[in-house]
Chain A
């Protein structure tokens, strides 16, 4: 179905919803690279105006990625819940935006419509929103998950402690991990991106993270972010694995580029659940996504990158993940050019994920060929914390020495807590106080003397020295 609008004597016409969404997308380099972007600023606003008039019901019959050739489309449409959709079924996209902003959209009402929302509807409404709208609505969405602690509760955010090392050296990983713990990070997960993808190294990293967590008795979960098939092999060999990780995207073809399908992910989820390692919950999956992933795999089907990203969340929510994060500034300036584009994309991704019921976190980050710096990251972090982000990623001194990009530092999370008063996951918060790292208010003690950690750290040092 075509959409059109007359504006300043020009009749703007958009052949279908896929084109309308692409032209309505706020400016970013990736859609320009794909040749999908609006040709002028007025063209873009004309598309937004036409999109505001489009009925939400149109999205259930429109083609974005063809049903016949794409299992993600089949997952989205076959799983659509008409009863949950009913309260918003008669709205246009513009009316849906107003309903989301209104007091009628309570946390309960927002949760109730989730099964009735498709990712394309959610992407569409985000294109009509300013940053303030994206923050305000996301802050009303509650997505709570649990494994060894509870993540996503109101008034809190968690941090992934990312102790990467260029050669996966055990002592190097341990050094960055303990540094982060002493700065109060790690309630979302201790998560290492391995430099290699062999089962042996993968298993060694999993065992190392589990050993540190056990010795120090930390109520958190661990993850080695290798390929899902490596994780399955490691589980079969008896590795002490908490979470299975995988990068995912919004089409069958893009997922194939990552070497995965829905069936592989289901197999991995079953394998991880069979271990029964969670103590307060059974969310065992961890996914990363990012705008541009589908385009870089040439599997975007003419759909704009932000809509493709929202489709990845439909994949994620199928597997009840503990954690999902967009790696927003990591994919490079050909997809998001500068700090402004990264900031908007980070808030869009967080909003779309939350509205679809995904436990959304963000890797607030950039590469050195992006026109961005730590000031941009400070801004995005504080906006996200106010939007109720479930977790962010933190590395020593904001510098990831393995992946060669900049994320947030452990310190940055401390500052955000000071500024906003947001607390850590409750189980982790209690542990920090118990071992003497924090005071009653959750602040790091000025002169930390974590006596309770000393035996564990001494044993850890001894083990690592022995491995030398």
Chain B
């Protein structure tokens, strides 16, 4: 079993929390560089260490704390903005890393901010607003952290009586009816006004349905899959190892709910897949201590990668939400999957941005103190899996690294021939390359931003249901000028470079995931 020593070192003792996946308890954050044996607050050390590191390493810019919302700002456009690209591009990600003299010890702990880019009348206008979760509002009022996070230990932390108490709404954002939902993965979605980005309410998943309040507070993952018919499929992990499965209408009304006892002990499950017939829960080779309530380990430090534990795939019928088949794959860990589809004979294909370790969690902690030097040593790669009806499986590894896989919206759960990802080429720090993999030929169409840029997730926008049409859209942080730019590519010609680039006069915090709502 591979011990993730860094996060364990980062841990001290303290309260323990115990229930929905991403959140809960925390240890003292201290890594080798910033250990202080005196009674200095480790989170204050992290803040000081990061500020020092930023002076020597401008690449850390995107991980600086964001203090305030961003007012409306029109972008400066280079190149030609396509006329058929109208709507709003929403992105989410952690942005509030610091309160008072403390800084969180893991990137995933930061409070979420929604950034929107509105394409209208030949212009692009940006605004950014923090999701005003209960936690965020309380902590802003007092200018200090009140709750321990999944790794950071806050002295005299208030008790976390339910997962939503520490919901940071910081991973993804999807349009739902006339709202947008900011997504976390261990608790409720948060509904926001799609125009003003004002926070409206914590979403009660069963509202106006037969389920009433029975779904209140259940985990709702940050990676729902939206079928071409508009149905929203998602899951939520309970720390007990059970997984709730949801089918909602395009308006966010719950249609069907099921619960599977996945007997999964990994405590973290970030993404999943659907085909036209089935849900795939792909359980990585993670495990954790049996009962953290009797341990001092915080959630992130309690999760371990076990190279002897196969990944498991649970194949669940979408109509009945019952388990139909299970497969075992080589040990592995993946945050993200691109797509799955199914042949007439029941053969299932899917891709994963997969790794043989869980060190990324350590890196995303080290980077908070600015001590991470090189983040590409443990970057995942694309693997293409086939699950045969007779129980057999195949795995094909694609050369090069990959993360943030995306496919065309109309092909979610259907056969896709292209897969768009991010990877490293010149940058040793973060990702600087966008790539389109042709799944049939194996050929790649790539554009290298270069090591002056940090490229974030890129998404596909198309007004047609034809692969190759439309655009690839994504943000990148230009380190020398300290500005964020929005880049638009022809989806079938990445190597030609952006056909349009639009600049903000400042930089945004590096985010995670986003989606586009066409108008």
Do they bind each other?
Answer: no
| B contact residues vs A (CB 8 Å cutoff) | none
